[in-house]
Structure 1
Amino acid sequence: MSEHQRDLVGYGAEPPRAAWPGGARVAVSLVLNYEEGGEANVLDGDPASEAFLHEVVGAPPVTGGRDLNVESMFAYGSRAGFWRVHRTLGAHGLPLTVHAVGQALERNPDAARAMGTAGWEVAGHGWRWIDHREVPEEVVRADVARTTATIERLVGRRPVGWYTGRTSSATRRLVVEEGGFLYDSDDYSDDLPFYVEAAGRPHLVVPYSLDANDFKFLLVHGFTTADDMLTYLVDTFDALHAEGAERPRMMSVGLHCRIIGRPGRIRALDAFLRYVARRGGAWVATREQIARHWLATHPPTA
């Protein structure tokens, strides 16, 4: 099928047996979105300040000017929140995938080096953290190349995964045409990886999640306390763990430096990882590891 043809059937009642390593029931993918410094800002030529995913929920953007409060909320993510997440993952000794905005990484090379040193997978997340629906295709193509080169230079390894988030209709095809990517994650439609046709060939999609995601702290009627998020993560894991006795599943957990990195929220991540370790039956893996496993175990059909 084409990369954007709607598929409302998917695997149906009989999804493939994932055969995760070690007989795991659930492959848990932790994803940290690194965006701070790539958001909308008139200093970077944007018409208005950033209005999305900051602590003053619903505040309108400042048109033609700076919003210093919002800028400092984003700066918290790169100055403090990132390092709190880094310490937490280090304490658990677990892998992580970073969705990294190229410009954001370039503005904090120390964080980029720390990602590489920790052995984290760093995937492309666009050159800027903006809505790409109206961005011309030639600009998106150039941004894919520029982001890829920046990650390789700063982290020490080129990305093999991509997630734009606020994507354009051309992004997936351009990522496939670039030639060095194993997968993209611009999809939320399944609990397992699957293939689509893009640029005339099979392409792997490793779906992401916006429900088991800390961005719900910044939505009306979303998470309020760390316990809210922890309860939801545990409930999600338990449901997938039970289903995984017959058909192993995948669970994505979405994180942001400026959100989960706040001291009143980090406990949700720490406690969830402790719960997963006690419960057992999980393979905590990067998205690259999941993609390589799927490509080897469930290769695309001709």
Structure 2
Amino acid sequence: MRKRHSAVPHRLGRRTNFIPSLEGHPAKWAEVVDVAGDAAERAKVASAASATLLTIDTNCLPMVATADVNSLTSMVPDQLLPVRRPASHKGMKNYISRVVVPTEAHECRAVWCESFNELTHLRDLLITRPPTQVATQPFRLEWIMTTGVRGHVPDFLLRDADGRALLVDVTTRTKLDDPRLQAVLQLTATTAEALGWEYQVRTELPAQRVRNINFLHAGRNDTYQDRVGASRLLRQTPGSIDVQRASDLLGGGPQGFVRLWDLIDHGHVHVNLDSVMELDSTVAFQATGGGAPWLHTM
């Protein structure tokens, strides 16, 4: 029988950390900002970065480990546990939750989201670029500078079927005005580049997109249809396809709509998530919609 991961109680509504505190004096923010603003210095610090993580040992128990940039490239999201956990408390403003995500190593897997903002972005990624593995709060990156050390815990690490990795940070537009956060995100972006990973900084999604994502996610795994076969049927149908026609092709009535929402939610077909989904909304086989104002380059 598999052993369950040990639990740590929440205290006073603060995050519960599962890894040791960062050792050494914190680097002065003035130096962090200066390093992040100098491409050569930023690359030098990023290439020497290390990480502290919580992984699963051979007995299925959590184990603290460290890794350098070279070792991080082989990290498998399925083997990573969150290095910290959000805690609920009376009067809190954040909405914390757990989300069932795809996995290759386990029968099922759920991960933590620290806010409603994170939750909707994770659901958006599950739809728009379906991953095969997901870890949240996957490790703490650590950068050594002259005046000390600074650390940062990214929000998501995803891997797709082709083995490509995506590292994600979720924040708000107003917080991006803080030069200290900008510096940390720039260092994270350069470290991800050194790892050969894609990196995204995401801010609030448009309200209509959030409504659509949450509606689609509510029906996730609500059908046992052959998704590959169903999407092939739609692809082979001549002419343009809208929501009404697609649902009719998939069986019609409520069942046809359920099957269509399920295909969209698993990334097999697409609708424009930034607009209201109507019966005459176009069903496409590539992602549709305009730009992505919530994505920011660091």
TM-score after normalising by structure 1: 0.27
Q: Hey, which of these two has a bigger chunk of helix by percent?
A: 1
Relative contact order, CA 8 A, sep 6+: which one is greater? 1
TM-score after normalising by structure 2: 0.28
CA radius of gyration, larger in: 2
Q: Hey, which of these two has a bigger chunk of strand by percent?
A: 2
